[in-house]
Amino acid sequence: MTTRDFSDNFEELTLPGVDEGEIVVIRSARRKKSISAYRQGGRIVISIPARLSKADERAIVPEMIAKIRSQEESKTPGEESLLARIDELLTELAPEITTRPISVTWRGMRERWGSCTSVDRTIRISDRLKLAPDFALDYVLFHEAIHLEHFDHGEQFSEVLGRFEDAELASAYLDGYEAAERALLAPSELKKLS
Ligand SMILES: [Zn+2]
């Protein structure tokens, strides 16, 4: 698609339960029949044929949004499986750590990837990891689980974390995600960071 197509044919609409700007509908002259929907960053982009009537658009767009959301939901591990995964990681990579969390919960956190409160044995994982590759999620789960017994990022902590094979790949993924997030921030938000 050319830039011109994009600027000529896109508009945003707000639907109930959808944040403004979250949905982008592109009307493409080249697209004859098919409709596609995909996630791009925080947005759901729906591409429809230019000829589609407004009434059809109103009927189809919510269906496509629901489809994307349910696909995402089915790919998101539930909290029970996060607990089970931590148990597997500790058993395999750090058998000397016998403490287990009592809960692992998804949390909307933008500043951190995860956090652990060792006193009540609770772990929170940023929901930005919901669709992350397994190695990145595992890395954060393992990092937080080590905090159950090693409270700072000292030598002992680093030694245990170093047993995670894909550590470099996972760090690169997380750093890249953060860099992309910063790049997508509005200039006013960026000023606050500097
Ligand atoms: Zn930490």
- The rounded Å distance from CA 74 to ligand 1 centre is 28
DSSP reduced 3-state for 168: helix
- The rounded Å distance from CA 161 to ligand 1 centre is 10
- The rounded Å distance from CA 115 to ligand 1 centre is 7
In the predicted structure, residue 5 carries a pLDDT above the cut 50: no
In the predicted structure, residue 123 carries a pLDDT above the cut 90: yes
Domains and CATH numbers, the chain: 3-75 (no CATH), 79-193 (3.30.2010.10)
- The rounded Å distance from CA 142 to ligand 1 centre is 10
Reported as type and span, the H/E element at residue 89 is: helix 79-93
100 and 144 Cβ atoms separated by less than 8 Å: no
**Assigned token pair, 119:** 């006193």
- The rounded Å distance from CA 143 to ligand 1 centre is 6
- The rounded Å distance from CA 148 to ligand 1 centre is 10
What would the pLDDT profile of 146-178 be if each residue is shown by its tens digit? Answer: 999 999 999 999 999 999 999 999 999 999 999
- The rounded Å distance from CA 144 to ligand 1 centre is 6
Strands (E), 54-169: 103-107, 114-117, 122-126
Strands (E), 50-113: 103-107
What would the pLDDT profile of 13-34 be if each residue is shown by its tens digit? Answer: 444 445 546 788 888 887 666 8
Spatial separation of the C-alpha atoms in residues 149 and 138, rounded to whole Å: 18
pLDDT score at 3: 35
76 and 130 Cβ atoms separated by less than 8 Å: yes
- The rounded Å distance from CA 167 to ligand 1 centre is 14
- The rounded Å distance from CA 54 to ligand 1 centre is 50
Reported as type and span, the H/E element at residue 101 is: none
- The rounded Å distance from CA 151 to ligand 1 centre is 8
How long is the chain?
Answer: 194
- The rounded Å distance from CA 130 to ligand 1 centre is 19
Spatial separation of the C-alpha atoms in residues 121 and 123, rounded to whole Å: 7
